[in-house]
Copies of this chain bind each other. A is one copy, B any other.
Amino acid sequence: MNEQSNVAGIPVGVVGLGLMGSSIVAALLIAGHPVKAISPITPDAQNAYERIFTQLNYCLEAGLIDSVEKFRSMLHISEDYATLAPCEVVIECVIEKLEIKSEVYKKITSAVSPSCIIGSNTSAIPISDLQTYVANPERFLGIHWAEPAFMTRFLEITCGNQTTATYADRIFSLAHRWGKEPTLLKKDIRGFITNRLMYSVYREIFHQIESGNATREDVDKAFRYDAGSWMTLMGLFRRMDYTGLKDYGTILNNIFPQLSNTETVPPIMQKMVTDAARGVHNDKGLYPYEPGEGKQWDEAFTRFNQEIHQLAANYSEENVKNQLNHTKAKS
C-alpha cells in the first residue's frame, strides 16, 4: 500500500448506471479518477447524471468532500462504448443476467486497449464464467462493491480461473486509494466471502425459526445487540482471540454436528419469492411494513452508514495498535 501517487491521471470506465453503478461512479470521482460512464439504456443517462450529483451533494453535506463542481468536468456519460478507449480499468455493473453481461463484454472488449483490466460487480455469476466473454480473460476479475459505494469500506476482489494474480494485486492496491479495505479472494467460490458467511448464518437462522425455537425478532435482536456490539471493531478471528479461545475445541466439536446442513431453500424464503415480496422496496417482506415504512428504513440506513463509517475509521486496526486517543463519545 505504498502507492501514494496521484490517481488523477488514470481514467476508469463504469458500464451500467443503475443505483449501484451511479454510486460507484461517485466513489471513483471522489477518489480522483476521470470517469467514462456508459449508460446502456438510452433514456437513463440524464437520470444517472442527476443521481450521481445527488450522491455527491450528500457527500458534500456529510463533509466528505469540499465541492462537487470539479467533478462535472471529470465525469463523462455516454451511450457510446468508444469513449472507454483511454480507460485503464473498466467496471461493469449491469443486471445479473449472463446474456446481457456477455453482450456488454463484447462491446467493452472492442473499445478498450488490450492492457485494460475489466472488472464485474457481480455477486451472483461466477467470475470464471464471465471471463470467457472477454478478449483477455487473464485481465478480468470480480470487483464487488457494497452500497453506498462512496461510503462503505468494503470491496471484494475475486480471481476467476484464468485471472493473472498481478492484475488482482493492481486493483487491490488501487482500492486502498479509493478509501477501501479490500479483500482478495484467490478462488472464485460461490457467494465470494462476504455473502458466503451470511448464507451460512441464514441456513442456521431459518432452521431455528422453522423449528419454533425462536422468533425472527429475537434472532435479529441477538445479532444486532451481541454480534453488532463488536463486529465493526473486530471481525470474527479477532473476536475469537478476544474471547480467549480456551473452550472452542470442545464447543465446536459439540456444536458443529447440530448445525443445519440443509441444501434447499427454506420454505419461508420460498414463499417470499413466490409472493413477489421485495421487502422494504414494496413494503412486503419477512417483517410486516406499514405503507411507506420501507422508505424510512432506507433513510435510516443512509444516515446510519455515515456514522458507522466514521466509527470504523476511528477504530481501524492501526489506530487500535497505536493507542491513539479517540475522541470520546459525546455523552
Residues of A within 8 A of B (CB): 62-64, 96, 124, 146, 152-154, 156, 180-187, 189-191, 193-205, 208, 211-216, 218-238, 240-249, 251-266, 269-270, 272-273, 277-281, 285-287, 289-290, 293, 296-301, 303-312, 315, 319-321, 323, 326, 328-331
How far is it, in angstroms, between the C-alpha of A212 and the C-alpha of B196 when the chains are bound? 15
Is A265 in contact with B252, judged by CB distance below 8 angstroms? yes
Q: Which 7 A-B pairs have the closest CB atoms?
A: A220-B235, A63-B331, A241-B279, A241-B285, A249-B273, A183-B218, A154-B225
Set of chain B residues within 8 Å of A213, measured between Cβ atoms: 185-187, 189, 193
How far is it, in angstroms, between the C-alpha of A104 and the C-alpha of B253 when the chains are bound? 27
In this complex, what residue of B is CB-closest to A152?
A: B229
Is B193 in contact with A197, judged by CB distance below 8 angstroms? no
Is B231 in contact with A224, judged by CB distance below 8 angstroms? yes
With A246-B278, A248-B265, A249-B269 as known contacts, state yes or no: A259 contacts B296, CB within 8 Å. Answer: no
Chain B proximity of A208: nearest CB distance (Å): 7
With A257-B263, A280-B242 as known contacts, state yes or no: A252 contacts B269, CB within 8 Å. Answer: yes
Is B200 in contact with A219, judged by CB distance below 8 angstroms? no
With A220-B235, A259-B200, A273-B249 as known contacts, state yes or no: A244 contacts B212, CB within 8 Å. Answer: no
Is B185 in contact with A218, judged by CB distance below 8 angstroms? yes
Interchain Cβ contacts under 8 Å between A and B, 18 examples: A124-B247, A152-B226, A184-B214, A199-B256, A201-B236, A203-B252, A205-B237, A233-B300, A234-B297, A238-B286, A238-B287, A240-B285, A245-B269, A245-B278, A249-B270, A252-B265, A303-B329, A307-B311
How far is it, in angstroms, between the C-alpha of A287 and the C-alpha of B286 when the chains are bound? 38
Is A329 in contact with B287, judged by CB distance below 8 angstroms? no
Set of chain B residues within 8 Å of A182, measured between Cβ atoms: 221
Is A251 in contact with B191, judged by CB distance below 8 angstroms? yes
Is A190 in contact with B254, judged by CB distance below 8 angstroms? yes
Is A278 in contact with B244, judged by CB distance below 8 angstroms? yes
Is A255 in contact with B196, judged by CB distance below 8 angstroms? yes
Is B240 in contact with A279, judged by CB distance below 8 angstroms? yes
Is B229 in contact with A216, judged by CB distance below 8 angstroms? no
Give 5 A-B pairs besides A242-B280, A249-B272, A256-B265 with Cβ atoms closer than 8 angstroms: A124-B247, A197-B227, A199-B252, A240-B269, A244-B279
Is B234 in contact with A220, judged by CB distance below 8 angstroms? yes
